[in-house]
Amino acid sequence: MTALWFKSKLPTVLLLMNLGVAAGADRFERDGAVLQPRMGHTATLLPDGRVLFEGGWANCKGCSIESELYDPSTGLVEKVGGPRPSRENHTATLMADGRVLIVGGSIDGEHAKSAEIFDPASRKFLPVRESSKGRSRHTAHLLQNGQVLIFGEGNSIELFDPETQTFRLLPLTGRFGDYQSALMADDDHFLYAGGSPVSAGTFRPGGKIEHVAFYRPAWLLESHSMTLLPDKTVLIAGGTEEIEVAAYTSYTVSTNRTDLVDPLGRTSRAGPPMLRAHSGHTATLLLDGRVLIAGGTGQSYQAQSSSEIFDTNARRFIVGPSMSSRRIGHSATMLRDGRVLIAGGDERDVVSAAEVFVPDALPVPLQVLSLDGQAAVLHAGTSRLVGAADRAAAGDVVEIYARGISSGLLAPRVSVGGKLAQVLYFGAAPGLDGVQQINVRIPEKCESGAAVALWVLDQERPSNVAKIGIQ
């Protein structure tokens, strides 16, 4: 196949894709899926488009929490893994080989050290060595080198290496407190915030903690949300605050406070207040740059069905549509087509019905361009397609053509043969309107063959799986 064939076929390929259509006002739609009732769980989008629901707990008689695979395209739900101790407030991280690393959480009231890997191919959970300490309500992040950084629960950070399937503590200069959560601000920096009294700062893996000028003595920053915005500031929203009623007497309530933090400049300022107080809510960056705040408890301590949307351009919150159920402790998962799957949560009894947030205009779905499974990938600077008859070797640079990658707050990750490739360039594809190009170096020790899997991870949203040839 030549570049002429490739460019002549590309418009046809693009016509087969959802280019984005007007869909009316923002709205929630009942999804139709009947999932096990759960809260405090994780919901992870897999490269094949299914969602893995793992862990959580249910406040209902006769409820048994089992892992589930849900396919949004068909509505089918499948139980996987068999009976296992149920975790809550753990992490589940999609890794470069398409498997999911599950770490910590609370098991039978104790913070767990245990970890396991879910393999979608076998539908089994495989135990790995324990982490250094028990963790719950922590955060986990996939790094460009394919390792997973685990943050939270005391003054420690550790890395999980999928090659050795072991955890390793990182040295750290400085100290942060308990009950912190972290967010990846770019490929080198993380922002953390939370605790009581509240503190915030930035760090690099294995580096030094740099504190942020951030002081809200009444703001506990527990059950808050942190969202990286298109201008690379971070919106910290909601949580709880302490109200003092008399000397040595106080109580906590959900808050509508927000803060805007510049992680690299290590400064912060008060953000616009939310329309309602939210604690234990979800915050999802939509593909148009807005932020969806959904559910959580208000100042009345009851779960709520309301949502609101942060307009990043106008720097204000507007009223969003209402969900069909009141939810706290639910999950919000960005699907490949830009919709947001809302599942679980507590409305006195835990909710089993799922629903989806549909934005007012559906964006272009995230997709590696392909034809009959063959990825639109060229040997760099040539017209040669990387296929079964003309394979790439480790160290070669190739050009990947895709659509629907978001604004590039974080460089997209590219999985080739189960390994993350080094990204050398990401931007608009010259001469191809609406198409994006990623130049990567084929990783060492990746799988070889005539049809090796390749997919793109944009934030936490994986693309379709296409095939290329690797020597």
440's CB contacts (< 8 A; 6+ apart) are: 397, 398, 400, 414, 416, 421, 422, 423, 424
User: Which of 242, 320, 251, 308 lies closest to 278 in space, CA to CA?
Assistant: 308
Cα 17 to Cα 429: distance, rounded to the nearest angstrom: 17
The answer to the question of residue 219 being in a domain is yes
Residues 268 and 379 in one domain: no
Distances (CA, A) of 304 to 26, 40, 200, 372: 18, 16, 28, 46
- Is the same domain home to 290 and 430? no
Q: With DSSP H G I counted as helix, E B as strand and the rest as coil, what are the percentages for the chain, rounded to 5?
A: 5, 45, 50
Q: Is residue 156 part of a domain?
A: yes
Query: Could you tell me if 425 and 331 lie in one domain?
Result: no
138 lies in some domain? yes
Closest listed residue to residue 443, CA positions, set 463, 466, 470: 470
The pLDDT-based confidence of 12 (bands split at 50, 70, 90) is very low
Helix (H) or strand (E) holding 15: helix 3-15
Residue 9: pLDDT band with limits 50, 70, 90: very low
The chain-wide mean pLDDT, for the chain, equals: 88
Integer Cα distance of 434 and 226 in angstroms:
30
Query: What pLDDT does 170 receive?
Result: 86
Are residues 354 and 373 located together in one domain of the fold?
no
Residues 182 and 246 in one domain: yes
- Asked if residue 20 belongs to a domain, the reply is no
Let me know: does 329 contact 39? Beta carbons within 8 Å: yes
307, 336, 358: which is the final residue of a domain?
358
- Per mean pLDDT, which range of 208-217, 221-230, 388-397, 423-432 is the poorest? 208-217
Q: Is the pLDDT of residue 350 over 90?
A: no
Specify the residue for token string 């069909």.
324
Q: Which CATH number do you get for residue 430? A: 2.60.40.10
pLDDT band at residue 17, thresholds of 50, 70 and 90? very low
pLDDT tens-digit map of 97-134: 999 999 999 998 899 999 999 999 999 999 999 998 89
For 304-347, the DSSP string reads B--EEEEETTTTEEEE-PPPSS-BSS-EEEE-TTS-EEEE--EE
Q: 180 and 267 in one domain?
A: yes
How open is the CA angle 378-379-383, to the nearest 5 degrees? 65
CA dist 312 and 317 (Å) reads 9
Q: Kindly report the CATH number assigned to the domain that includes residue 233.
A: 2.130.10.80
- Tokens representing 8 are 């002549």
* Domain co-membership, 302 together with 428: no
pTM to 2 decimals?
A: 0.92
Residues 267 and 372 in one domain: no
Q: Report pLDDT for 22.
A: 44
Q: Are residues 107 and 190 in the same domain?
A: yes
Provide the residue range defining the domain that includes 193: 25-358
- Based on the fold, state whether residues 232 and 92 are members of the same structural domain: yes
Q: How does 165-189 read in b/e, with b if 16+ C-beta sit within 10 Å? A: eebeebebeeebeebbbbbbbeeeb
Q: Do residues 353 and 368 both lie within one domain?
A: no
Residue 378 in any domain: the answer is: yes
Per-residue pLDDT reduced to its tens digit, 38-58: 999 999 999 999 999 999 988
Between 91 and 217, the more confident residue is 91
Number of domains in the chain: 2
Provide the phi-psi class of 406: left if phi over 0, else alpha when psi is between -120 and 50, else beta: beta
Mean pLDDT of 257-282: 93
Q: Assess if residue 449 is contained within a domain.
A: yes
Instruction: Using the 3D structure, point to which of 324, 358, 392 is the last residue of a domain.
Output: 358
Question: Are residues 73 and 88 both part of a single domain?
Answer: yes
Residue 361 DSSP class: B
> Which distant-in-sequence residues (6+ apart) come within 8 Å of 429 by Cβ?
401, 435, 436, 437
Which of 358, 381, 396 is the last residue before a domain boundary?
A: 358
**34 belongs to a structural domain:** yes
In a domain, 18, yes or no: no
> Over 60: is that where the pLDDT of 367 sits?
yes
* Residue 21 clears pLDDT 70, i.e. is over it: no
Residue-level pLDDT at 277: 95
